[in-house]
């Protein structure tokens, strides 16, 4: 560290603390980091070094002395979710600390030397993959999952039990009977690459900002209010640390082996080694092999294996002294930016894409990288001809992270972000508070029209037997311009397409006829309303029951729905205000598509006049519980009020719903009690 005065040190310490607190909030709460882990760690190390050199400026509130908090706070839009949910908090029985980390093999050796001096005897280490996810603490009582809590601020965290119960790899009930009566086991909720790519593709399709990496996606998904939506996100879990009173284990590895025998998910890649040299060999292996894993890791965790030695070594205010993490430096490559393309998406969003000199990165050749939007381009101060650093976000998505200004050529050109649509020439617009520019010419922009058809025929929408090439041919021949045109196609028209024979034409016509039986929620999704994804469409269809009811809803009604934010509400209102869209709804309705939710077959009037709220996890999907209520004449709503007759509570019901029901005197019943109410008619 260069020579620095006390005054300068104090100013720099205050600046670093403020910046690090801001980055912690972006990372843990908003799930939207603006710098890399490596850059963050460098800042934290600088702060720690300054506090060590100038102890008079030390503070218990410094980021070096406390764990970054992921506790849900005020609703925000930055995470990409419409309305983050404020969970009930629960205190940790044992503080949930974070690990110290290093990027240096020399510091890793110093870690080993400190341990050797403290315990004065040889020790073995458990080496584990450092999964890049979000921390979780599970408590099991009498062999059943009692609750699941996020790290939070290390002292308390958010109770996310209902959401954790949707993760297939986490058992609600343990196997066997050798488990302690009560214990905690901690680990990481993560999102495999396959699920991450699928989620970001879906978000891109409805112009939601993609998650930067699988960690942010996992954290954001775990904090969703709708447990059924969490279940669809493909989250997984790995557990790696057990705590409890008088646990019958002498080593960490024994405890993890026992957890595996009880059916808990643990890593198959952990190894116990006897020296720091073997630790380094383990690191060397996984620094290369990690590129073949189906999930993201960002380093290796090294722990003293014997539990008695862990207790002897103890803790600092923030971290255990018996464990550390060696973090891999991010893979990045320097290459030249050749040009920038401006792509038009299905909903008119304009995305700048950088064309690069091909460069090897993490086992693949990278030729293109998204620049996301004009703000990102301005932030990078990027020029065509620049040399840029490219990284892979979560080892998957190439992104430009920095411009190497020292190599900027004299003839580098400032990019001219288009004012008009590259496809149809319409003047671009940018909604207030939005990052992207849009082409508003949705009914006449060829790219938007064709992309809308591709979305409409997709498997999750109308599931029509066609593809991009077919849509392109139909469009080029002017057979289709609006969605309803698909249902007017004739065999004679189809036979004019290149390579089409009788069988191909008959298959498409049959598929179109079959699509008329697709349920309303998928039809609504197929319409391609901006910001309305598959889960949103399903929720709105269930809540309103018909497209006419959705069309009639005003903005205030829409924004009062938990899953609908201002942006989605405005988008829905705007879509229904367009006469072309209304005309298409009527033509599609006339073609035979379903624009009403099918009513549940009525079995009895036993529950007539009763209003139910359903919360928690049940033996069957929640929709089936609601269907049971409606089939016996009851009504279901999403929130508890003075009109609610019963709150049906499954495993881990919403804490706020329970609290409100108790305050209002609403009767709380179980799934079994609900079934008993209707059993005579079942």
Last residue of a domain, one of 354, 383, 407: 407
Is 403 contained in some domain?
yes
Per-residue pLDDT tens over the stretch 557-611: 998 886 788 889 999 999 999 999 999 999 999 999 999 987 667 788 899 889 8
pLDDT at 3 over 90: no
Do both 125 and 42 map to the same domain? no
The residue-averaged pLDDT of 506-531 equals 94
Residue 47: CB atoms within 10 A of its CB come to 20
Residue 530 and residue 206 in contact, taking contact as beta carbons nearer than 8 Å: yes
Range with lowest mean pLDDT among 326-335, 441-450, 496-505, 589-598: 326-335
Is 433 contained in some domain?
no
**How much is the pLDDT for 680?**
61
Is 207 contained in some domain?
yes
**How much is the pLDDT for 79?**
38
Do both 283 and 139 map to the same domain? yes
The domain total for the chain is 6
Is 434 contained in some domain?
no
What's 26's DSSP letter?
I
**How much is the pLDDT for 82?**
37
SS3 568: helix
Tokens of 603: 């079995």
Range with lowest mean pLDDT among 337-341, 403-407, 558-562: 558-562
Do both 155 and 299 map to the same domain? yes
Last residue of a domain, one of 327, 350, 372: 327
Per-residue pLDDT tens over the stretch 637-666: 777 888 889 999 988 787 778 888 888 899
SS3 246: coil
pLDDT at 218 over 50: yes
CATH code for the domain of 566 = 1.10.150.20
Distance of CA 517 to the CA centre of its chain: 32
The residue-averaged pLDDT of 289-311 equals 92
Higher pLDDT, 356 or 432: 356
Q: What are phi and psi of 261, to 5 degrees?
A: -65, -20
Higher pLDDT, 643 or 275: 275
**How much is the pLDDT for 579?**
95
Per-residue pLDDT tens over the stretch 359-378: 988 767 889 998 888 888 99
Is 564 contained in some domain?
yes
Is 414 contained in some domain?
no
**How many Å apart are CA 210 and CA 215, to the nearest integer?**
12
Do both 342 and 386 map to the same domain? yes
The residue-averaged pLDDT of 28-52 equals 72
Where does the pLDDT of residue 208 fall: very low under 50, low under 70, confident under 90, or very high at 90 and above?
Answer: confident
CATH code for the domain of 373 = 2.40.50.140
**How much is the pLDDT for 409?**
94
Last residue of a domain, one of 11, 32, 65: 65
CATH code for the domain of 128 = 3.30.470.30
Where does the pLDDT of residue 6 fall: very low under 50, low under 70, confident under 90, or very high at 90 and above?
Answer: confident
Range with lowest mean pLDDT among 38-47, 94-103, 522-531, 587-596: 38-47
Do both 585 and 673 map to the same domain? no
Distance of CA 633 to the CA centre of its chain: 37
Per-residue pLDDT tens over the stretch 529-550: 988 988 789 889 988 999 999 9
Do both 566 and 654 map to the same domain? no
Active site residues: 130
Do both 373 and 356 map to the same domain? yes
**Residue of 531, 517, 526 whose CA lies nearest to 563:** 531
Residues 202-227 as b/e (b if ≥16 CB within 10 A, e otherwise) read bbbbbbbbbbbbbbbbbbbbbbbbbb
Which structural domain range is residue 576 located in? Answer: 520-591
Do both 105 and 186 map to the same domain? yes
Range with lowest mean pLDDT among 288-297, 328-337, 396-405, 475-484: 396-405
pLDDT at 146 over 90: yes
**How much is the pLDDT for 256?**
96
Do both 178 and 309 map to the same domain? yes
The residue-averaged pLDDT of 257-272 equals 95
The residue-averaged pLDDT of 516-535 equals 92
pLDDT at 554 over 50: yes
**How much is the pLDDT for 643?**
83
Do both 197 and 309 map to the same domain? yes
Residue 545 and residue 637 in contact, taking contact as beta carbons nearer than 8 Å: no
Is 413 contained in some domain?
no
Residue 236 and residue 190 in contact, taking contact as beta carbons nearer than 8 Å: yes
pLDDT at 141 over 50: yes
Do both 249 and 381 map to the same domain? no
Is 576 contained in some domain?
yes
Own/partner long-range contacts of 476-485 (Cβ < 8 Å, ≥24 apart): 480/453, 481/449, 482/580, 482/584, 482/587, 483/452, 483/453, 483/456, 483/526, 483/527, 483/584, 483/588, 484/584, 484/587, 484/588, 484/591
Do both 168 and 270 map to the same domain? yes
What average pLDDT is seen over the chain? 87
Q: What is the pTM of this model?
A: 0.64
């Amino acid at each position: 560290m260069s020579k620095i005065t006390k005054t300068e040190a104090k100013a720099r310490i205050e600046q670093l603390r403020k910046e690090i607190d801001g980055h912690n909030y972006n990372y843990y709460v908003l799930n939207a980091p603006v710098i890399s882990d490596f850059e963050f760690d460098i800042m934290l190390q600088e702060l720690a070094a300054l506090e060590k050199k100038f102890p008079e400026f030390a503070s218990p509130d410094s980021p070096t002395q406390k764990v970054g908090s992921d506790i849900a706070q005020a609703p925000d839009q930055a995470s990409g979710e419409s309305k983050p949910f404020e969970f009930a908090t629960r205190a940790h029985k044992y503080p949930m600390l974070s690990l110290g980390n290093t990027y240096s093999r020399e510091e890793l050796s110093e870690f080993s030397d400190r341990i050797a001096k403290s315990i004065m005897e040889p020790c073995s280490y458990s080496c584990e993959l450092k999964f890049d996810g979000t921390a979780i603490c599970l408590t099991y009582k009498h062999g059943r999952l009692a609750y699941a809590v996020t790290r939070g601020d290390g002292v308390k965290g958010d109770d996310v039990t209902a959401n954790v119960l949707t993760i297939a790899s986490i058992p609600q009930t343990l196997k066997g009977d050798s488990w302690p009566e009560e214990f905690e086991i901690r680990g990481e909720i993560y999102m495999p690459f396959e699920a991450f790519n699928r989620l970001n593709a879906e978000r891109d399709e409805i112009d939601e900002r993609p998650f930067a990496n699988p960690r942010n996606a996992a954290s954001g998904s775990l904090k969703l209010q709708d447990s059924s939506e969490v279940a669809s996100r493909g989250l997984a879990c790995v557990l790696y640390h057990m705590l409890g009173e008088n646990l019958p284990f002498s080593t960490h590895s024994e405890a993890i082996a026992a957890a595996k025998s009880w059916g808990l998910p643990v890593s198959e890649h952990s190894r116990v080694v006897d020296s720091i040299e073997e630790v380094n060999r383990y690191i060397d292996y996984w620094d290369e092999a990690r590129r073949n894993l189906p999930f993201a890791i960002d380093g290796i965790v090294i722990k003293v294996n014997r539990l008695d030695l862990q207790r002897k070594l103890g803790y600092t205010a923030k971290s255990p002294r018996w464990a550390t993490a060696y973090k891999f430096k991010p893979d990045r490559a320097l290459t030249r930016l050749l040009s920038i393309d401006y792509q038009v998406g299905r909903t008119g969003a304009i995305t700048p894409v950088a064309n690069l000199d091909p460069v090897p990165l993490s086992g693949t050749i990278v030729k293109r990288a998204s620049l996301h939007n004009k703000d990102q381009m301005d932030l990078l101060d990027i020029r065509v001809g620049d040399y840029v650093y490219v990284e892979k976000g979560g080892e998957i998505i190439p992104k430009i992270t920095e411009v190497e200004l020292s190599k900027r050529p004299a003839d580098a050109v400032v990019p001219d972000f288009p004012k008009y649509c590259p496809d149809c020439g319409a003047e671009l617009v940018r909604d207030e508070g939005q990052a992207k520019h849009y082409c508003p010419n949705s009914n006449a922009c060829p790219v938007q029209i064709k992309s809308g058809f591709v979305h409409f025929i997709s498997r999750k929408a109308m599931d029509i037997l066609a593809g991009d090439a077919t849509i392109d041919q139909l469009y080029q021949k002017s057979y289709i311009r609006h969605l309803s045109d698909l249902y007017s196609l004739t065999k004679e028209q189809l036979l004019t397409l290149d390579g089409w024979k009788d069988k191909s034409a008959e298959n498409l016509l049959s598929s179109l006829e079959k699509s008329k039986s697709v349920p309303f929620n998928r039809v609504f999704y197929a319409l391609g309303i901006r910001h309305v994804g598959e889960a949103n469409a399903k929720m709105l269809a269930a809540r309103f029951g018909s497209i006419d009811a959705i069309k009639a809803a005003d903005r205030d009604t829409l924004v009062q729905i938990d899953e609908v934010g201002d942006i989605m509400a405005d988008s829905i209102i705007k879509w229904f205000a367009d006469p072309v869209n209304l005309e298409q709804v009527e033509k599609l309705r006339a073609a035979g598509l379903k624009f009403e939710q099918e009513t549940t077959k009525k079995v009895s009037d036993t529950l007539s006049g009763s209003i139910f709220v359903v919360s928690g996890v049940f033996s069957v999907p929640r929709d089936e519980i609601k269907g049971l209520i409606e089939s016996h004449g009851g009504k279901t709503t999403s929130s508890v009020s003075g009109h609610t007759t019963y709150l049906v509570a499954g495993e881990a019901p919403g804490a706020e719903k329970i609290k409100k029901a108790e305050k209002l005197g609403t009767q709380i019943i179980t799934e079994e009690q609900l079934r008993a109410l209707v059993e005579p008619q079942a």
